[in-house]
Amino acid sequence: MTLLLTGSDETVHGILGAMRYVTTAGATRPFEGPSADMIIALARTFDSARTDLSVGDRIIDADGGWSMGDLALSELCSALPDARARHEAMVASTLCVLMADELDPAGEEALDELAHSFGVDEEAADVIQSITQSSATVAGGDLFRRFLAERSDESLDVITERLERLEAPVSTPPEEFDAYNRQLQAAPEGSVGAELLRFYQHTGYDIPGNPAVPLLPALSLLGNHDLHHVLAGYSTSGSDEVNVAAFTAANSADGGIYYLAVVLMQWHHSVKVSPFEPAHSTLDPEMLATALARGATSTFDVSDRSWEWKSVIGENLEEVRGELGITPGGTVGIGGAWDARGSGNA
């Protein structure tokens, strides 16, 4: 994810170009529809975030670059010579298939061609094969399960079995929840924990992992995400949920694009991310670009699973933000309301 902010001009063009290649089914159909809108929104967002880069007509013009199949693959391989860039391009291009309302065999075939041209590793190839042999809905569910497995200590098989039984995919031991709850309650004024308590009071959300609330997301999955809201200063409005995910995606040193994948699937179904038609858009592309830039410039990966994030609960919020290199910003200031929808108690 950070490559779209910190990579060379050629890398950025390559990742977005790979997405365009899949959206146009290997340059065999017009550049239009939901996937094209997503790519244009991303291009303009990153163009806004990077003052030294102009994406220009090569990506967003209807008749723009990479217009010939074999030549397109050759150009993309040249633009993305290293494994990391190709991996991010593959994940980003997979989003274009997931954006489809119905099965898209031509787009899936282009995705498969891209994978072979890039020489992706075996695991990535398995994911692509799964997508090309099933529906986008199934692929989206698979991505969700993989995301849960990556962010918890549970295996993919255990998570899959629990979901099939309609159980919570990841659980929280009662003693772990009790200890965390006591830690929050004891947090002094002005601390991270005190602000987290205000966050839960304003939103009306339960503290993650509460054993008294069936199917509530586990503390290991949602606790750190809620902390990101407080650290970055973003509320729980639809726009800010995407902003905090964008912040996390750009901040994550490994696998950040997966966070964006979850956001974009949510957008496709409920939240419109687009610089077009302001009356119909719930997001400001410049604000989204700022969230991405803030995440990328922070000096610490707040998604690192080796980080003991509960250790900062009792520390001063402003001092913690400074220690983590999180620049001022967001939409919720000190003492502000975390629930922009007004459903909680301010």
Tens digits of per-residue pLDDT, 193-222?
A: 999 999 998 888 888 888 887 666 778 777
Q: What angle do CA 16, 260, 269 make, to 5 degrees?
A: 100
Helix axes of 174-185 and 192-203: crossing angle, nearest 10 degrees: 110
Q: Looking up tokens 């005190």, which residue turns up? A: 194
**Residue 187: which H helix or E strand, with range?**
none
pLDDT over 70, % of the chain: 62
The residue that leads in pLDDT, 197 or 90, is: 197
Distances (CA, A) of 5 to 8, 167, 321: 9, 39, 21
Quickly list H helices, the chain: 3-6, 9-23, 34-49, 57-60, 69-79, 83-98, 105-118, 122-132, 136-151, 156-164, 174-185, 192-203, 219-232, 238-251, 256-269, 285-297, 317-324
Residue 53 has pLDDT above 50, yes or no: no
Buried-exposed string 23-37: b where 16+ CB fall within 10 A, e elsewhere = bbbbbeeebebebbb
Which amino acid type is present at position 260?
Answer: L
Question: Domains of the chain: which residue ranges?
Answer: 3-134, 174-324
| pLDDT band at 63; cut points 50, 70, 90 | low
Distances (CA, A) of 40 to 206, 246, 257, 296: 37, 17, 17, 21
Average pLDDT, the chain: 74
pLDDT confidence of residue 271: 38
Residue 102 tokens, joined: 């119905």
| CA–CA separation, 115 and 324 (whole Å) | 36
Question: What DSSP letter does each residue of 269-323 carry, written as one string?
Answer: HT----SS-GGG-S--HHHHHHHHHHHHH-SS-TT-TTS-GGGGTTSBHHHHHHH
Cα torsion 121, 125, 126, 132 to 10°: value is 170
pLDDT confidence of residue 197: 93
Question: What DSSP letter does each residue of 141-178 carry, written as one string?
Answer: HHHHHHHHHHHSSS-HHHHHHHHHTT--SS---HHHHH
Sign, CA torsion 177/180/186/189? negative
Distances (CA, A) of 231 to 35, 101, 150, 328, 335: 32, 35, 22, 10, 13
Residue 187 has pLDDT above 90, yes or no: yes
Contacts of residue 165, Cβ cutoff 8 Å, sequence gap at least 6: none
pLDDT confidence of residue 5: 65
pLDDT confidence of residue 93: 86
pLDDT confidence of residue 327: 92
Cα–Cα nearest to 115, from 36, 177, 243, 26: 26
Residue 137 has pLDDT above 80, yes or no: no
| CA–CA separation, 141 and 147 (whole Å) | 10
pLDDT confidence of residue 120: 72
| CA–CA separation, 22 and 36 (whole Å) | 10
Distances (CA, A) of 61 to 20, 26, 41: 11, 16, 12
Q: Looking up tokens 């995301």, which residue turns up? A: 147
Q: What is the pTM of this model?
A: 0.63
